[in-house]
């Protein structure tokens, strides 16, 4: 049966005027359709005007331009109450006899909804999918029993994934505790004597366009975002297996340094503006062990504090060589690396699980509609 969504939902404008909810309740929203910890600087900011998001309510950001062709929306599936910026829109399902809120969230998780929201966004400097646009959307719904059945399948898979993720957090905690103990018990050594700068270039064009990589602040190689049309690859630096590369500029970079370790068996190439280096003796310092320290928040803070410059602050090669870390026996390094590698493998599996569950949403919605028609 087809409904106008506005007949099934209602705007919620309750604000935190009494100050009942604090910073621990404050949330932002990601394009992955989840609530996240806010990234805003909340120093001296009053929370009294923030909107209340009770359990089972939705919140979304109306602005869709420059947002990865997606709309930022989330469903409060917890028993906790959140607060969000007053620039957001908060709403609830009012006709629970016709629409299940979990089914609606599945509906929002479809790429079709992202495309609909972008196509129906209006504005000049900033395009927005307004509350009126949301209410005007027409939605086909199967009987409530079928909605709940499909929503139960989705929530069961989500519950299993979150249980797996919880175990993942425990594994990371074990690795962090191991590293922290080494930091407290062992003397620290400058890593410069273990590193060697690599300036080998792709002069023979042994690596093609598919080998060009960028580096992210998550300490990973990523596909380059640069326009490579007509660009010569000869000046590009070679990043051989087990080599590292990083971007020296740290300002305007989210307080993090862009760095990556080539843990693959193939050679990459990167911009000549990057710094590439290798481990001089892997029997004394394992590349994967060093990467663990580079992946810690403490290293990001260290590089920002030790970056220098006027228009652009940089953490140069000399600064990198002065970084000090505990360097235990190689057997201990291998043990820590084994734990860390297990964490990385499971983290990647968890990301694939989340992607598969999200991809399941359009299938479940389609199945519900087909069951309803039958």
For 92-116, give the DSSP string: EE--TTT--HHHHHHHHTSHHHHHH
Query: Are 255 and 300 spatial neighbours (Cβ–Cβ below 8 Å)?
Result: yes
Does pLDDT of 68 surpass 80? no
Does pLDDT of 226 surpass 80? yes
CA atoms lying within 13 Å on the CB side of residue 91: 23
Pick the CATH number of 2-141 from 3.10.20.440, 3.90.220.20, 3.40.50.300, 2.70.210.12: 3.90.220.20
Q: What is the mean pLDDT of residues 216-226?
A: 90
Closest CA to 74 of 55, 100, 95: 55
CA atoms lying within 13 Å on the CB side of residue 155: 15
374 pLDDT band, cuts 50/70/90, is low
Closest CA to 206 of 236, 183, 162: 236
pLDDT of the residue at 345: 87
165 pLDDT band, cuts 50/70/90, is confident
CATH top class, domain 187-327 = alpha beta
36 pLDDT band, cuts 50/70/90, is very high
Does pLDDT of 279 surpass 70? yes
Query: Are 88 and 38 spatial neighbours (Cβ–Cβ below 8 Å)?
Result: no
49 pLDDT band, cuts 50/70/90, is very high
Least confident of 47-51, 225-229, 233-237: 225-229
Where is 175: in which H helix or E strand?
A: helix 144-185
- 263 pairs with which residues across the strands? none
Least confident of 112-121, 127-136, 296-305, 345-354: 345-354
Domains 2-141 and 187-327 share a fold: yes
Q: What is the mean pLDDT of residues 260-279?
A: 95
Round to the nearest angstrom and report the end-to-end CA distance of the chain: 12
Does pLDDT of 369 surpass 80? no
**Percent share of the chain, pLDDT over 70:** 99
Residue 282 has φ and ψ, to the nearest 5°, of -70, -10
Q: What is the mean pLDDT of residues 257-284?
A: 94
**pTM to 2 decimal places:** 0.67
Rg (CA), the chain: 25
- 278 pairs with which residues across the strands? 196
- The DSSP 8-state label assigned to residue 126 in this structure reads S
**CA–CA distances in Å: residue 272 to residues 21, 132, 201, 287, 320:** 50, 50, 8, 22, 17
Does pLDDT of 371 surpass 80? no
Higher-confidence position of 339 and 358: 339
Where is 177: in which H helix or E strand?
A: helix 144-185
The ranges assigned to domains in the chain are: 2-141, 143-167+334-374, 187-327
Q: What is the mean pLDDT of residues 283-300?
A: 94
**CA–CA distances in Å: residue 97 to residues 121, 139, 141, 196:** 30, 15, 11, 68
356 pLDDT band, cuts 50/70/90, is confident
**Which among 62-66, 96-100, 151-155, 341-345 has the top mean pLDDT?**
96-100
SS3 354: helix
Averaged confidence pLDDT in the chain: 91
Where is 301: in which H helix or E strand?
A: helix 297-305
Does pLDDT of 227 surpass 90? no
């Amino acid at each position: 049966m087809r409904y106008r969504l506005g007949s099934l939902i209602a705007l919620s404008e309750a604000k935190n005027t009494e100050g009942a909810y604090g910073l621990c309740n404050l949330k932002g929203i990601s394009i992955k359709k989840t609530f996240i910890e806010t990234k805003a600087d909340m120093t001296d900011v009053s929370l009294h005007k923030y909107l209340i998001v009770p359990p089972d309510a939705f919140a979304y950001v109306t602005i869709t331009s420059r947002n990865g062709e997606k709309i930022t929306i989330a469903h409060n599936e917890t028993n906790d109450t959140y607060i969000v910026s007053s620039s957001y829109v908060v709403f609830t399902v009012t006709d629970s006899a016709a629409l299940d809120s979990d089914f609606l969230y599945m509906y929002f998780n479809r790429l079709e909804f992202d495309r609909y929201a972008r196509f129906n966004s209006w504005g000049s400097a900033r395009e927005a999918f307004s509350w009126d646009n949301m209410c005007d959307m027409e939605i086909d719904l199967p009987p409530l029993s079928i909605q709940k059945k499909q929503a139960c399948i989705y929530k069961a898979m989500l519950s299993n994934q979150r249980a797996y993720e919880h175990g993942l957090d425990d594994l990371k905690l074990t690795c962090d505790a191991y590293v922290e103990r080494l930091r407290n018990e062992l003397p620290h050594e400058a890593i410069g004597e273990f590193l060697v700068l690599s300036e080998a270039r792709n002069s023979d064009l042994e690596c093609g366009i598919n080998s060009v990589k960028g580096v992210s602040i998550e300490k990973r190689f990523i596909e380059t975002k640069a326009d490579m049309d007509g660009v010569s690859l000869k000046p590009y630096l070679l990043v051989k297996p087990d080599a590292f590369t990083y971007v020296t500029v740290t300002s305007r970079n989210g307080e993090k340094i862009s760095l990556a370790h080539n843990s693959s068996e193939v050679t990459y190439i990167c911009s000549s503006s990057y710094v590439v280096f290798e481990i001089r003796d892997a029997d004394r310092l394992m590349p994967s062990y060093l990467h663990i320290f580079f992946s810690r928040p403490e290293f990001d803070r260290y590089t920002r504090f030790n970056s220098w410059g006027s228009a652009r602050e940089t953490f140069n090669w000399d600064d990198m060589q002065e970084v000090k870390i505990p360097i235990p026996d190689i057997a201990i390094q291998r043990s820590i690396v084994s734990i860390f590698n297990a964490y990385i493998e499971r983290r990647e599996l968890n990301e694939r699980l989340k992607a598969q569950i999200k991809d399941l949403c359009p299938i479940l919605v389609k199945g519900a509609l087909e069951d309803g028609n039958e």
